[in-house]
Amino acid sequence: MLTVIDPSTGEVVREITPAGAAEVESLLAAAEAARASWVDRGLDGRAQVLRGVAARLRAQVEELAPLMTEEMGKPIGEARGEVEKAAWCFEHYAQHGAEYLAPQTIESDATHSYVQHLPLGTVLGVLPWNAPFWLAARFAAPALMSGNTCLMKHDPHVPGCARAIAQVVAAELESVGAPSGVFANLPLETPAVADVIRDRRVDAVSFTGSAKGGAAVASVAAGEIKPTVLELGGSDPCIVLADADLDAAADTITLSRIINAGQSCIAAKRIIVESSVYDDLVGRLRMRLEKLTVGDPRSEGTDVGPIARADLRDGLHRQVTETVAAGARLLLGGEMPDGPGFFYPVTMLADVTESMTACREETFGPVMVVMEAADEETALALANRTDYGLAASVWSTPERGEAMAGRIAAGQVAVNGIVKTDPRLPSGGVKGSGYGRELGPHGIREFVNAQQVWVGPRRD
């Protein structure tokens, strides 16, 4: 059973029966049957559908956003913004997909030789709960634009969001006479995913989630020789050097750390500050964190909503208490609150060292971890000593920040700005944060056959 618990109250709000074998078979068969007509629709026809999906998302934002607030506790303002961002993603690929997929001429001994980008078939997206609409769009928009059909296996804790996403896409497909099998919601409990990956009608897998889950998905897919893209966790370093604009840095770091109650893979997780400005920045960060309001995610005035699940909150509190016990300074929060729901206070830990839990593990919640580094080289070494490599940020002069970016082991680096995902730019990680890229031109080419075509006669 897929059980939805409102994290602001702890109460069960709905239960949904997962798809049985017959429904799974029907959806797989429909996806396969829809392939040819979806490809035949061409880039312009597919772009028309994506633009229609974007328009429907924007028109229904006030219906769709509350689903996230109810199912995973996203503050309502952030939820509206997420629906809008999902619409932007569909719109972006409708506008730029043809350009990204254009054949590439490569000189050889042929009269004409080139690479064309053809769809693989059906792509399975295995998605997490923390950004239900955005992550669905990030997976689906490029895959659909390139001519693939899509099956979306969303997190069991957000089935209402998953159903709503599928209904929006289905309505647009129906309006243009495209088959419903082009995109479908696959409401499954997690253990059932492996059999779907192994099915001959699934050609590739996109996974966003934990390192443990990604390893399991990648293992099954590799056994079937199917391509995968993995976007996994992160313990993203944010390096602040002495020549940084400290007020701008403090503003952005605070925002990065508390968006979605800190439940973001690319949030700044380890704030590494050069010694000469360490105390100054700690004070500025604390002042900003103290002003944040934790409360009902349905309230327009709430900055930080609840943690999505009770077990996640318990794990976060363990990380905080172990870190404090190891010698970190607890400057804010850190106490498990009474009352209903899965709320956790905005928490600030200073003087954290590499051996402490909050540095070694990814913290998924409104917990800021601040670490001191003697100089630039020490900060860089500390940033790179992690099993993760998703994203990073540097605060310094633009020239110094750019020079450091190439020395940081991460899939993306922001210099004097917030780390974010953007449909125009590729996103993804290295090391334990996964492989492959989503978004931008790189993302749409992950699930295509880059087919080489050689046309004779041969030239000398």
The CATH number of residue 223's host domain is 3.40.605.10
Same domain, yes or no: 209 and 337: no
For residue 427, tell me if it sits in a domain.
no
Whole-prediction pTM: 0.97
* pLDDT, position 248: 98
* pLDDT, position 447: 96
Point out the catalytic residue in the list 71, 265, 274, 376: 265
Closest Cα to residue 308, out of 144, 158, 127?
158
**Which CATH number goes with the domain that contains 389?**
3.40.309.10
Same domain, yes or no: 403 and 450: no
Same domain, yes or no: 66 and 155: yes
Report the C-alpha gap between 104 and 59 in whole angstroms: 37
Burial of 322 (0-12, 13-18, 19+ CB in 10 A): middle
For residue 446, tell me if it sits in a domain.
yes
Burial of 176 (0-12, 13-18, 19+ CB in 10 A): exposed
* pLDDT, position 263: 97
Report the C-alpha gap between 151 and 286 in whole angstroms: 44
Same domain, yes or no: 286 and 200: no
Same domain, yes or no: 156 and 249: no
Same domain, yes or no: 198 and 246: no
282 and 335 in contact (C-beta within 8 Å)? no
Residue 329's domain comprises 237-422
Same domain, yes or no: 304 and 214: no
In 65-89, which positions are buried (b, 16+ CB within 10 angstroms) versus exposed (e)?
bbbbbbbbbbbbbbbbbbbbbbbbb
Same domain, yes or no: 48 and 164: yes
Specify whether the backbone of 434 is left (phi greater than 0), alpha (psi in -120 to 50) or beta. Answer: left
* pLDDT, position 460: 85
In 362-399, which positions are buried (b, 16+ CB within 10 angstroms) versus exposed (e)?
bbbbbbbbbbbbeebeebbebbeebebbbbbbbbbeee
CB atoms closer than 10 angstroms to residue 149: 27
Closest Cα to residue 304, out of 319, 316, 314, 289?
289
For residue 353, tell me if it sits in a domain.
yes
Same domain, yes or no: 224 and 249: no
Backbone angles phi, psi at 216, to 5 degrees: -65, -45
Same domain, yes or no: 328 and 211: no
Kindly provide the residue ranges of all beta strands, DSSP E only, lying in 21-157, ordered along the sequence: 104-105, 112-119, 122-126, 149-153
Same domain, yes or no: 395 and 418: yes
Is residue 238 annotated as a catalytic residue, yes or no?
Answer: no
Point out the catalytic residue in the list 172, 231, 361, 438: 231
The low-confidence residues of the chain, meaning pLDDT below 70, are none
For residue 310, tell me if it sits in a domain.
yes
Same domain, yes or no: 283 and 352: yes
pLDDT digits (tens, 9 = 90+) for 292-313: 999 999 999 999 999 999 999 9
Amino acid letter for position 84: E
Locus of tokens 């046309």: 455
For residue 12, tell me if it sits in a domain.
yes
* pLDDT, position 400: 98
Number of domains in the chain: 2
For residue 169, tell me if it sits in a domain.
yes
Is residue 265 annotated as a catalytic residue, yes or no?
Answer: yes
For residue 428, tell me if it sits in a domain.
no
For residue 429, tell me if it sits in a domain.
no
